[in-house]
Amino acid sequence: MTVPPDFVAVLPLVAAVLAATAVLLVDLALPGRRTAVLLTALVALAVVALAVIAIGGEERVAFGGAYTVDALTTFLQILFVAIIALTVMFGPDYLVPRGLPVAEFAIVLIFAMTGAMLLAASTDLLLLFLGLELMVLPGYLLAAFHKSDGYSTEGAIKYFLLGSFSSAIFLFGLAFVWGLTGSTRVSDVAAVLSTFAAGQGTLSPGLAMGLAFMTTGVAFKIAAVPFHYWTPDAYQGSPTPVTGYLSVGPKIGAFALILRLFVEAMGPLRADWLPVVIVLAAATMTLGNLVALTQNNVKRMLAYSSIAHTGYMLVGLAAWAAGRMEGLEGLLYYGAAYSFMNLGAFAVVAALQKRSGVTSNLDTFAGLGRREPLLGALMVLFLLSLVGIPPTAGFFAKFYVILAAVEAGGALSVLAVIMVLNAAAAAFYYLRVVVYMYMRDPETEQPALRHGRLVWGGLAAATALTILLGIIQGPLLDIVGEAARAIG
């Protein structure tokens, strides 16, 4: 029997849905058996990763051009699987002491992953919107996962309301573009916009408004300034493993949407939207860092820091729009490096909060370097990588983005200088945590906690990737280069 080509293309997506179903069935058959649930989730995620690699060996187009498997799709889908696997590993030590269900946590995460995987492969505006909603709706549930905690509920409500507004704005813009171009296919929209870029007609006010609405909706999803207001409360109120996921998963997914929308669909008009991206990047990294400097809560500090990292990634997009393919490669490299170092930092925060009632204030980290030397050393590594100290992955992520901006010249050179100044300012609040860990005594002596093997395994993976992506950049550069060429 011949397998339909369309089904072959979506096989990884089907495998992801079956993975979530498998975890659900195991939990129903073996209630309360967390080990079985977690083992099933991790094995299922490994199977999904193998399916992505197997199908991604050649370019495939399915469903009339609405779904495309290319090098970018494969890279992003593997990254999404890795993010979810690490989050599943970091979650139980935090959730179990608080009586929060582990199985539901893993199931919702995997369903969110299916939306992100769909986003990565979508080359149709309607399918992009569907993937976006499949990714963010589980995020609302996860933000309110600790439903008896008022902060969690408050953050989830803000996240839901502003997220819904931004989705509506994006959909409104999509309707304008659909009506005025006659198609939702990314390639067709790009073809229509190419005629305007070639001077064969003028961009109508309605189409310009549609593109502006879609840009605004996407800016909300990546928490770009001034559309960032939901981020600090949603991050601080969510259970810490959820915060780690929210700071990485939906952000990378939204950038997947940006790549399909700005690079593929709106690429012909890059000269028109480049100034907007430059302003967004400068404002986002600067405000994110300035507010992070004032924070005494590490989760809230990392939330504002994630806003700043959004600005850094936008610099890569701006460099591509200015004519440097290296900008797109730098953006993708940054996305991978940021995912692992930021997840690692949040994993350490979650590990410290294993004892119920422990906050994420700076005082919690006082004396950590002496109380739990290994955990303290890992936190130092992740923070140094977030700062951009060589030879960590964070340094080379910033280096490639800045280099692309400098090579683009003009206004991008100024943007590169702004990025360097922001990275230097960020060192203050990151290294402040290190000072507390090694140079401050705790207010009360607490015995060292015993952390589960899954936590240590996840930390080992995040640590290895943070170091290896800094020491050996070649393999990842080859991968992101191929991914960038697939759409650029």
Summarised one tens digit per residue, pLDDT across range 18-54 is 999 999 999 988 887 888 999 999 999 999 999 999 9
Q: How many CB atoms lie within 10 A of CB 27?
A: 22
- Residue 475 included in any domain: yes
Tell me the pLDDT tens digit for each residue of 168-210.
Answer: 988 888 888 888 888 888 888 888 888 877 777 677 788 888 8
Q: Is 160 inside any structural domain?
A: no
Instruction: Record the tokens describing residue 372, joined without a space.
Output: 């739990």
Identity at 29, one-letter amino acid code: A
Structure tokens at 190: 């790009």
Residue 458 forms part of a structural domain: yes
Q: What is the pLDDT of residue 165?
A: 86
* Total tally of structural domains belonging to the chain: 1
Asked if the structure places residue 303 within a domain, the reply is: yes
Domain that holds residue 402: 270-488
Q: Is 446 left (phi over 0), alpha (psi -120 to 50) or beta?
A: beta
Task: Look at residue 399 and tell me if it is in a domain.
Answer: yes
249 falls within a domain: no
Q: Please report whether residue 429 resides in a domain.
A: yes
Residue 304 domain-assigned (yes or no): yes
> Cα separation of 315 and 160, whole Å?
28
Q: How far is CA 397 from CA 9, 273, 393, in A?
A: 31, 24, 6
Burial 62-79 (b: 16+ CB within 10 A, else e): beeebbbbbbbbbbbbbb
The DSSP code sequence of 180-220 is HHS--BHHHHHHHHHHHHTTSS---HHHHHHHHHHHHHHHH
Alpha helices, H only, 353-410: 368-371, 373-387, 393-408
- Report yes or no: 164 and 102 within 8 Å, Cβ to Cβ: no
Given this model, what pLDDT does residue 467 score?
Answer: 93
Q: Give the C-alpha distances (Å, rounded to integers) separating 56 from 84, 271, 478.
A: 20, 32, 15
Mean pLDDT of 457-483: 90
